[in-house]
Amino acid sequence: MGDTSGTSIFSGFAIALHLGVFQNERTSFAMPHILSSFKTARLELRPPVPEDAPCIFDRYAQDPEVCRYMSWRPHTSIQDTHRFLEGCARERETGYTLSWAITLPGTPGPIGMITCRPERYKADIGYVLARAYWGNGYMSEAVHAVVDRTLADPNIFRVWAVCDVDNHGSARVLEKAGMTFEGTLHRWIMHPNVSPKPRDCHVYARVV
C-alpha cells in the first residue's frame, strides 16, 4: 500500500479531479502521483512531449526489427510520430493511457517508451526500447518501477501484460519485473508485422 498522507499527493489529486482525470469509467487511481515523472537507478521517466518526435522516429519508431511484435506498423514519416504523440497527450489527459518517455541522463531525448493502461482495479502495460539500447537491463528496470508504482495505488490490485509467444526477450523482461506467467491466450492480439492473423500471447501478471 502506498502512502497517501503527503500534501503534494492530495493537492495533485485535487488538480487531477479539477482536470477531470480519474473520473472516467475505466480509471480509478487514488494516487495521482502515478502521473508524474520519476527516476530509477539509471533512468528518468517523464511524460512524452511533441519535441520528442524526431528522436523517437530516428531511434526506433521506423525500425522494423523494433516494431516486429508491436501492434502498430513502423512509422514511415515523422508525421506518424507526431500523430502518435498527439494521441499520447490526449490519452494522458483522459487517464485512459499513461505514457512515459524513457530517458538516460546525459543522452538527449527518449530511448524508449512505456505505457500503463488503467482499467478500474487493474492496469496493463506495454513498452518499447530503441535497438541500440537493448541488452543493458534498461527495460527490466523501467517495467519493474512502473509495476511497483502502479501497484502502490490502493485501488489497483493487478498489473498485467501480454507478449507474443515468440517474443522471448519481452517474456524475460516481465519475469525480471516480478511478474508471474499465467498462461497462453490463443489468437489474442494482432501483430501485423508478423502475421495478418491474430497471434497467441503469453500473459504475465503481478497482483497484490
Ligand X SMILES: CC(C)(COP(=O)(O)OP(=O)(O)OC[C@H]1O[C@@H](n2cnc3c(N)ncnc32)[C@H](O)[C@@H]1OP(=O)(O)O)[C@@H](O)C(=O)NCCC(=O)NCCS
Q: Residues 67-106: x/- map of binding to ligand X (CB under 6 A)?
A: --xx------------------------------------
Count other C-beta atoms under 10 Å from residue 124's C-beta: 18
Minimum gap (Å) between residue 14 Cβ and ligand X = 35
What one-letter code names the amino acid at 42? R
Nearer to ligand X, 21 or 139 (CB): 139
Minimum gap (Å) between residue 202 Cβ and ligand X = 9
Give me the residue whose beta carbon is nearest to ligand X: 169
Report 135-154 residues binding ligand X (CB under 6 A). Answer: 135-140
Q: Is 134 in the site for ligand X (CB under 6 A)?
A: yes
Report 43-72 residues binding ligand X (CB under 6 A). Answer: 66, 69-70
Nearer to ligand X, 20 or 135 (CB): 135
Nearer to ligand X, 34 or 70 (CB): 70
List residues near ligand X by CB under 6 A.
66, 69-70, 127-129, 134-140, 163, 167-170, 172-173, 176
